[in-house]
Amino acid sequence: MRVNHAGEVAAQALYQGQALTAKDGAVTDALRHAADEEMDHLAWCEQRLTELDGRTSLLNPLWYAGSFAIGALAGVLGDRTSLGFITETEKQVESHLKDHMERLPAADQRSRAILERMRHDEIQHGAAAASLGGGELPFWLRRAMRLTSRVMTQGSYWL
């Protein structure tokens, strides 16, 4: 659950950076709406961590700063690129959450319910970004995003 919490910290920063540099008001509104839902996810993960006697990642400030910078850069590159970045990010998050749910103990229905709701929301965020004109990102960028995600996952897991 610590990894999921760290992902929500990064999502907040990403959406905030993108909203700051978005060109179109409708895109800004969609980014802010998604950020609000991500804030709910953050709270759910933090509450579940507390219930499990866990802790948040020590690397969260790094994840926030890096994700904000990436989000702002994506926004500077234009709304189409920024929305494409969201579409791809949410595809990868959906895959992560699905994998995590498969590895959860069957008895942990509380965590499963949280992850299922988050997954539903992430799918909606990706679809909304695509419907607003998000373009497909180049292969090399999608690959770099996956590698970055792996670093973040491993770092958050251990620290």
Q: Which one-letter amino acid corresponds to residue 29?
A: D
| DSSP classification of residue 52 | T
| Regions in the chain scoring below 50 on pLDDT | none
pLDDT at 120: 94
Contacts of residue 52, defined as CB under 8 A and 6 or more positions apart, other chains included, come to: 1, 111
Residue in the structure block whose two tokens are 């970004």? 129
pLDDT at 124: 93
**Which CATH number characterizes residue 12's domain?**
1.20.1260.10
In a domain, 32, yes or no: yes
pLDDT at 137: 86
Query: Using an 8 Å Cβ cutoff, are 36 and 16 in contact?
Result: no
pLDDT at 153: 87
In a domain, 109, yes or no: yes
In a domain, 158, yes or no: no
Candidates 3, 102, 10, 92; CA nearest to 45 is: 3
In a domain, 91, yes or no: yes
In a domain, 159, yes or no: no
Q: What is the pTM of this model?
A: 0.91
In a domain, 34, yes or no: yes
In a domain, 36, yes or no: yes
Query: Using an 8 Å Cβ cutoff, are 118 and 64 in contact?
Result: no
pLDDT at 2: 94
In a domain, 16, yes or no: yes
Q: Which one-letter amino acid corresponds to residue 36?
A: D
Candidates 80, 10, 64; CA nearest to 38 is: 10
Query: Residues 118-148: pLDDT tens digits?
Result: 999 999 999 999 999 998 888 998 899 888 8
- Domain coverage including residue 33: 2-153
Structurally, the chain folds into a number of domains equal to 1
